[in-house]
Amino acid sequence: MGRVTTRRQVLRLDGARTVARPDTLVVEEPLEIRVAGESLAVTMRTPGDDFDLTAGFLLTEGVLRSADDLRAMRYCAGSIDEGVNTYNLLDVELGPGAAVPAGAQRRFYTTSSCGVCGKASLDAVRTTAAWEVRDDPVRLDSAMLAGLPDSLRSAQRVFERTGGLHAAGLFDAAGRLLCLREDIGRHNAFDKVIGWALREGRVPLRGTVLLASGRASFELTQKALMAGVPALAAVSAPSSLAVDLAAEAGMTLVGFLRGTTMNVYTGAHRLGL
């Protein structure tokens, strides 16, 4: 399996002082996702939790709805060294009744910072969600929400060594961390968490909060919605489309979650406001 981090030599400048030393970097490598041998997408990601990443990606693309839709996943030998498995190509076998919907194929390279930009067409952006979150009765305490970024940060082991990863954390309504995943791509981190939940039979994720270590984009909001998450929080700002989608879906969206302050953009009723 590929390494999550690697070492490179750097020159460290500190005023007039220059020191040569090794530095720890996050690994970035491509992952090609195939369904029944047919290429569906190539995404740049941090190696690790690739089965979760693939399952989450397929759920948020509308290919999967439950763990029963996923029959098998297996690594295929890559093409860098003939006969040597590079763990950068993963083939998926779908269960009966599951299929890649028309128009869902990306079929070309997407970067680690961009997911929606790889869509085949803008018409495919608003993926139809399988579950309604508007009627989720979960109630959230503002003090609990305020403590989530520290809980997330303390669990980010690779970030501590590199400073180069995004994180997504899934919490229950009491603020207990259920799953954390890190990746060089923020959308990949979300897919890894959602894929973990799918494989554990937890989808739809009713009564939960999904926390992003950065901003809340439209795509991250859509991914949370596709997994049935009623509340999305971010330590940074949401986009206008993220707020519009959350309001349309009945999702609670919180941004600028820092210390005891936060902005509640939608779904304030879940905080008793």
Q: Could you report the per-residue pLDDT of 145-160, keeping only the tens digit for each? A: 999 999 998 887 765 6
Are 214 and 167 within 8 A, CB to CB? no
DSSP state of 214: S
Handedness of CA 151, 239, 31, 70 (dihedral sign): positive
- CA nearest to 235, candidates 209, 262, 260: 262
pLDDT at 162: 60
Can you tell me whether residue 205 is helix, strand or coil?
Answer: coil
CA distance 68 to 198: 9
pLDDT at 122: 45
Q: Which positions are annotated as active-site residues?
A: 114
What pTM was estimated for this model as a whole?
A: 0.88
Neighbouring C-beta atoms of residue 230, cutoff 10 Å = 29
CA distance 202 to 206: 9
pLDDT at 115: 57
The CATH fold of domain 29-124: Ubiquitin-like (UB roll) (3.10.20)
Return the CATH number of the domain spanning residue range 142-271: 3.40.140.10
What is the overall mean pLDDT for the chain? 87
Mean pLDDT of 216-221: 94
Q: Could you report the per-residue pLDDT of 35-49, keeping only the tens digit for each? A: 999 889 999 999 999
Mean pLDDT of 12-29: 88
Domain boundaries, the chain: 29-124, 142-271
- CA nearest to 169, candidates 200, 213, 205, 133: 213
| Contacts (Cβ under 8 Å, ≥6 apart) of 242 | 216, 217, 218, 220, 221, 253
